[in-house]
Amino acid sequence: MDTIGRISYHDPDDCGYHIEVEQYCTRCGINGNRKFIAVEGPIGVGKTPLACRIAAHFGGTLVLESPGDNPFLERYYKQPSQFALQTQLFFLFQRIRKLKELSQDDLFASIRITDFMLAKDPIFAELTLEPDEYELYENIYQQLAVQIPVPDLVIYLQASVDVLAKRIRSRGMLYERNMKRAQLSRLTEAYTRYFMNYKESTLIVVNADKPGLLGSATHFDLLMERIGSISSGRHYFNPVD
């Protein structure tokens, strides 16, 4: 692929990186059987900009989360115990809808990229909900999480709590700044535990402590080459300056 090709945005307002992304598009191959790539990781790790850049690189269909659409989210950060269940159920319904639309509407798309996977939902729910709330949530989740497409490749971005906290403070979402360091630490640990045993898809674990994947065309190209060369299993990518 010498040039950018087509990008189809399901949520164009959520990706403010497409202009920068187009500037870095390069040649890269990809396994022909790989149709669905998910970028995952804790809050502030850089999922959305990387997903946008990958979609631009491959000319694929991009589907992004829309946290700003959740009417309970800001209230949750101020009063977690009162708004955790509403917040989590809204996100669950939203993610289910987006993934079902993706599987129905884009059957002939060459490649699809998301900045989330459904499995993240119970990770958050287990941390934020009371036991009785989580039992209700889990029953709803099990009923809805059927026939949801599973990614062919998951790119799991890891970063330290210090780095995540700094990025959260710098990105201008005021309600996120109410997130306590202890909460962020528990979330990071939960992601680590989950992906330690993850076997449902090909997995590449990326050290995202440095902003090299967005700031360096070389690092991004190396990641794309790595994606094009792997077929299964667990892999690691550590960009070095």
Domain count, the chain: 1
For residue 164, give both structure tokens.
Answer: 């995540």
**170 occurs within a structural domain:** yes
Please list the pLDDT of the chain residue by residue as tens digits (241 residues).
333 334 444 443 345 443 333 333 333 445 556 689 999 999 999 999 999 999 998 888 899 999 989 999 999 988 999 999 999 999 999 999 999 887 665 555 568 999 999 999 999 999 999 999 999 999 999 999 988 889 999 999 999 999 999 988 887 676 777 788 899 999 999 999 999 999 999 999 999 988 766 667 888 999 999 988 888 899 999 887 6
pTM (predicted TM-score): 0.85
pLDDT value of position 97: 93
The two tokens of residue 192 are: 């680590």
What is the reported pLDDT for 239? 82
**17, 45, 135, 172 from 115: Cα distances, Å:** 13, 11, 27, 19
Residue 217 in any domain: the answer is yes
pLDDT given for residue 18 in this prediction: 39
Asked if residue 142 belongs to a domain, the reply is no
Asked if residues 220 and 213 have their Cβ atoms less than 8 Å apart, the reply is yes
Q: Which domain holds residue 30?
A: 8-63+111-127+150-237
Residue 36, amino acid: F
The CA angle 196-198-200, to the nearest 5 degrees, is: 170
Q: Classify residue 59: in a domain, yes or no.
A: yes
- Where do we find the tokens 């289910």? 96
Sign of CA dihedral 181, 80, 174, 157: positive
Two tokens, residue 92 = 């669950």
**CATH number, domain with residue 45:** 3.40.50.300
Angle at 192 between CA 188 and CA 195, to 5 degrees: 135
Q: Is 88 domain-assigned?
A: no
- CA-based nearest residue to 211, from 153, 152, 170: 170
Look at residue 158 and tell me if it is in a domain: yes
Task: Please report whether residue 115 resides in a domain.
Answer: yes
Q: Is 216 within a domain?
A: yes
